[in-house]
Amino acid sequence: MAQNMMLYWGSGSPPCWRVMIALEEKKLQGYKHKLLSFDKKEHQSAEVKALNPRAQLPTFKHGDLIVNESFAACLYLESALKSQGTRLIPDDPAEQALVYQRMFETNNLQQKMYDVAFYKWHVPEGEQQESALKRNKENLVTELKLWDGYLEKMGKGSYLAGKNFTMADVVCFPIIAFFPRLHCPKEQCSRLMEYYEMVKDRPSIKASWPPHWLENPVGPDTLKNL
Amino acid sequence: MAQNMMLYWGSGSPPCWRVMIALEEKKLQGYKHKLLSFDKKEHQSAEVKALNPRAQLPTFKHGDLIVNESFAACLYLESALKSQGTRLIPDDPAEQALVYQRMFETNNLQQKMYDVAFYKWHVPEGEQQESALKRNKENLVTELKLWDGYLEKMGKGSYLAGKNFTMADVVCFPIIAFFPRLHCPKEQCSRLMEYYEMVKDRPSIKASWPPHWLENPVGPDTLKNL
């Protein structure tokens, strides 16, 4: 089945990374893939646009099916291959509710991290304002406290939605990995950093680690002054 | 089962509305609920905060389970009550892939609509910039063309992910409903407006129509100059 899959991806893109973790967890090693360069604008190539009118990565194809939104691709893989590899959405309603809840709360953490870490890339130079960046930082600190509180409540050694690695971890880990890389002070998210240390060597995550992070393990310090 | 459910909601909030449509579609009429006022900041009450550390609406409880993210609550309801009411996530892999894809693309449409329609509410007065609002408008026009293109391709009378009403419609309709309400020129999204006319009288949608929209059917004209 994996031979029938094709992923266009960019190194370090959290949406790409989460689809790659899902592919690894579902034992789909051997899927076809093409690493594209955002810097060279390769994601805007005709090849990608033919499959993805947004010209974004990931762009994912399984046979004739195209699923480009990362959450959609992850849910599709779990549903299509429920009994293969890691079970990422549990059957138990209480467990399932928490997995979905943390999955979609990830959008908050992602947006707030982007609003600080990539502020200077996403906001045109003439529109950048110190007051906005300051507020973004405060919002991110509040968000981090929330996640630290979740982990604190779940107890040591817990994954994001309980005792098992689930889809919540698949979609959120690629965001969490930016905090140590971009020099976020540990005290702003000590529980999340314990979680990061626990999960970072998991085979699915190691196998999909962004190649340019391997080449340059230390990232810019955009989260240093949080 | 519905008697065991409690929804805290705000009138006109798309995330609240989509959970209410899902509850109607899954034949859960009779669920308990409490309408709160954003203007009076009732969503920040202790009652809500005890269930939702983000102090946001919707806040949704089923027995002891709490699921506050709207996408999470919708997926949870479908999964817990798969065979009750409307089947919102189809079994067929190709149909399912498209439902998930459009569901999560809704976040793009939502964010781009908010970035124009609520610009003056979300950006502090001293930070508002004409150049940013202009770009937001251009991005929204591009986004609308994409959705119009999807509907054009699917053919007349189609729902967002095919011939049946699915979870894609549940989560996206509350966003689409803002375009006519806020005076978006019809020619910017003619197919979407045909879709809107087709779906707006569906029982689940009529039953959950925002009460303050019923009282004041004409909204502000924040999307007029798109």
pLDDT at A4: 96
Q: What share of chain B is helix, strand, coil (3-state, %, to 5)?
A: 55, 10, 35
d(CA B172, CA B112) in angstroms, rounded, equals 13
Q: What mean pLDDT, rounded, does chain A reach?
A: 97
Does the pLDDT value for residue A123 go beyond 90?
A: yes
Minimal C-alpha gap between B53 and chain A (Å): 8
CA angle B219, B222, B226 (to 5 degrees): 130
Closest chain B CA to residue A98: B67
Query: Who's near A118: CB < 8 A, 6+ residues apart?
Result: A222
Confidence of residue A1 (pLDDT cuts 50, 70, 90): confident
Contact A96 B79 (CB under 8 A): yes
What are the extents of the domains in chain B? Answer: 2-80, 93-215
Selected from 3.40.30.10, 3.40.50.150, 3.40.50.2000, 2.40.30.10, the CATH number assigned to the domain covering B2-80 reads: 3.40.30.10
Query: Could you tell me if A216 lies within 8 Å of chain B, comparing CB atoms?
Result: no
Residue from the list A70, A101, A124 with its beta carbon closest to the beta carbon of B72? A101
Helix, strand, coil distribution of chain A in percent, nearest 5: 55, 10, 35
- Beta strands (DSSP E) in chain B are 5-10, 32-36, 59-62, 65-66
Determine the distance in angstroms separating the CA of A141 from the nearest CA of chain B, rounded to an integer: 13
Q: Is the pLDDT of residue B108 over 90?
A: yes
Average pLDDT over residues B3-19: 97
Chain-chain contact of A127 with B129 (C-beta, under 8 angstroms): yes
A31 by DSSP, 3-state: which? coil
For range B73-95, the mean pLDDT: 96
- In which residue are the tokens 């810097």 written? A39
Q: Looking at residues A117-138, what average pLDDT do you find? A: 96
- CATH architecture of the domain formed by A93-215: Up-down Bundle (1.20)
DSSP B138-187: HHHHHHHHHHHHHHHHH-TT-BTTBSS--HHHHHHHHHHTHHHHTT--GG
Q: pLDDT by residue (tens digit) across B86-102? A: 999 999 989 999 999 99
